[in-house]
A and B are shown apart, each in its own frame.
Chain A
Amino acid sequence: GQNIDQPTEMTATEGAIVQINCTYQTSGFNGLFWYQQHAGEAPTFLSYNVLDGLEEKGRFSSFLSRSKGYSYLLLKELQMKDSASYLCALVNQAGTALIFGKGTTLSVSS
């Protein structure tokens, strides 16, 4: 089976940098996704890692270490609109499912 852990809630201020961690225990997976979900809306794709290392996309970066069972999402220059839930998800080995963590709710204040 797979177990994915994320902090439940985080708070930060506008302009700051925040790191959202995701740790997992799994027998194998085909990649790790980060999705953003505003309250009551659909999850939207943010980033994908399959190899160890950092992927950068504008204000958002994601890091993966397979040996440590660890990923993080880094959000820079925070804006109020970044207030949302951030979901870490593993692709199972068969490629048939995304296994989601429970998500981290980020609140950005001015």
Chain B
Amino acid sequence: EAQVTQNPRYLITVTGKKLTVTCSQNMNHEYMSWYRQDPGLGLRQIYYSMNVEVTDKGDVPEGYKVSRKEKRNFPLILESPSPNQTSLYFCASSLEPGLAGDRQYFGPGTRLTVT
């Protein structure tokens, strides 16, 4: 089944404890992206990757890191999480950004709480 998977789905952690949220897609998509979703603010892009070893900042990159060593994986790293990073996180992928109608497929989401 074509899908985007994320792990963990739920995480409660403490301020300053490094964590990684994994994202994997099995559709051979070039493009991957991370979003966070907060009440009243909607979905905002954190980082994106156009291809292996190519990553760039989105609208809200502060406090996050990413890597794209393999085409299928795009982990999100929080080196020192803070309470303002409590949010619902979505990973997404698409075949070829810029191609007309290239839709993004979203993972199931990771609900992160930082205390």
Chain A residues proximal to chain B, CB less than 8 Å:
30-31, 33, 40-45, 48, 50, 87, 89, 94-103
> How would residues 93 to 112 of chain B score, 1 for a CB under 8 Å from any chain A CB and 0 otherwise?
00001111111111111010
Asked whether A94 lies within 8 Å of B41 as measured between CB atoms, the reply is: no
CA distance A40 to B111 in the complex (A): 9
Chain B residues proximal to chain A, CB less than 8 Å:
33, 40-45, 48, 50, 56, 58-59, 88, 90, 92, 97-109, 111
Partner of B101, one of A31, A98, A100: A31
CA distance A83 to B21 in the complex (A): 30
CA distance A98 to B44 in the complex (A): 9
Among A48, A97, A101: residue with most chain B CB under 10 A: A97
Neighbouring A residues of B56 by C-beta, 8 Å: 96
Asked whether B48 lies within 8 Å of A43 as measured between CB atoms, the reply is: no
CA distance A43 to B109 in the complex (A): 10
10 contacts between A and B (CB under 8 A): A31-B101, A41-B108, A42-B106, A44-B106, A45-B103, A94-B98, A96-B98, A97-B59, A98-B43, A100-B44
Neighbouring A residues of B101 by C-beta, 8 Å: 31, 48, 50
Q: Which residue of B lies closest to A102 (CB)?
A: B42
Neighbouring A residues of B33 by C-beta, 8 Å: 97-98
